[in-house]
Amino acid sequence: MPTVRLEFSPAPAHVRTARLVAVAVARRAGVAEEVLDEVRLAVGEACSRAVALHQLYQLSELVEVEMADGARFTVRVSDRGPAETRPETGSVPDPVELVADSDTSFPAPSVAVGMGLALLTGLVDDLQVVPRRDGAGTSVRMSWPTA
Amino acid sequence: MELSLQTGTVADRTILRVTGEIDVYTAPKLRQRLVQLVEDGARHLVVDLSGVEFLDSTGLGVLVGGLKRMRALSGSFALVCDQERILKIFRITGLDRIFTIVPTEQAALAVEPDPGGSEDRPDGGHAVPPVTDR
């Protein structure tokens, strides 16, 4: 069972709230201080990705964040995006290539999603992007050691 | 903390000091300001991230956009950052290879030569490399 469960409408303004909650719960769960920045950034990226997918497909369903403590602090961020948008963990885009390939001055949302995924992959050792257990959508699952 | 933006000018450089959090919510404000600065004629931009507490991939995307726009205009774009937790984000994504990142504004003014020429600038300073004809 999750220790803390949070749901928010897919709006960028709420991503910061999710980050703040995640860091507070992680600290309480015993995640080391020096790892909290990583938790903050990773949860933010996972939530931004979910918000971007919901906006892309005009989905009004809530983004779900579940946090559980135990031997490891685990966070699961779940969206309702269509299955075909599921990123393959083996094909993480290279941000430098994304930059070179984009021809607009300010990168399109798809580039931002790719860059977010590259950042997540580089940041979190234990990261999985899996289909949701309860219907359409994907879950980004991450965990960190606790003291 | 909300995003706060402050603009200043040193010689032909436009300095944008960013304070607060650059994320999916605040990045559009930064993008808007960068676009405005370019429209107002800025060609040599220094974006000072010293006061930035948080930067995510959306923020990176906006900075990349700024860099690309300045390159397209034969201008320059430098970042000021000496915070390890922010620098780490550039390293992880490999973007440290495409950005000029220096620890202080002074260093930014020194590493970016002015390709537009500046005959009326006092000549004695060694912080700015000498300008060749163009």
Alpha-helical segments (H) within B40-130: 57-72, 84-93, 105-111
For chain A, what is the domain count?
1
Question: Average model confidence (pLDDT) for chain A?
Answer: 85
What is the span of the domain harbouring residue B25?
A: 4-111
What is the span of the domain harbouring residue A114?
A: 4-145
Residue A132: CA atoms inside 13 Å, Cβ hemisphere, count?
A: 19
> Is residue B123 situated within a structural domain?
no
> Is residue B134 situated within a structural domain?
no
Interchain CB contact of B93 with A (< 8 Å): yes
A80-84, A93-97, B50-54, B96-100: least confident range: A93-97
**pLDDT tens per residue, range A28-56:** 999 999 999 999 999 999 999 999 889 98
CATH number at residue A48: 3.30.565.10
Burial class (CB in 10 A: 0-12, 13-18, 19+), B39: exposed
3-state secondary structure of A32: coil
**pLDDT tens per residue, range B10-22:** 988 999 999 999 9
Interchain CB contact of B21 with A (< 8 Å): yes
CATH number at residue B72: 3.30.750.24
The structure tokens listed for A127 are: 């990261």
Question: Which of B25, B31, B38, B56 best tests the A interface by mutation, with the highest count of A CBs <10 A?
Answer: B56
Interchain CB contact of B89 with A (< 8 Å): yes
3-state secondary structure of B41: coil
3-state secondary structure of A145: strand
For chain B, what is the domain count?
1
In chain B, the residue whose alpha carbon lies closest to the alpha carbon of A13 is B25
ipTM of the complex model = 0.84
| B57-72 vs A36-56: helix crossing angle, rounded to 10 | 70
Using CB atoms, which residue from A13, A48, A107 is nearest to B56?
Answer: A48
Output DSSP code: residue B126: S
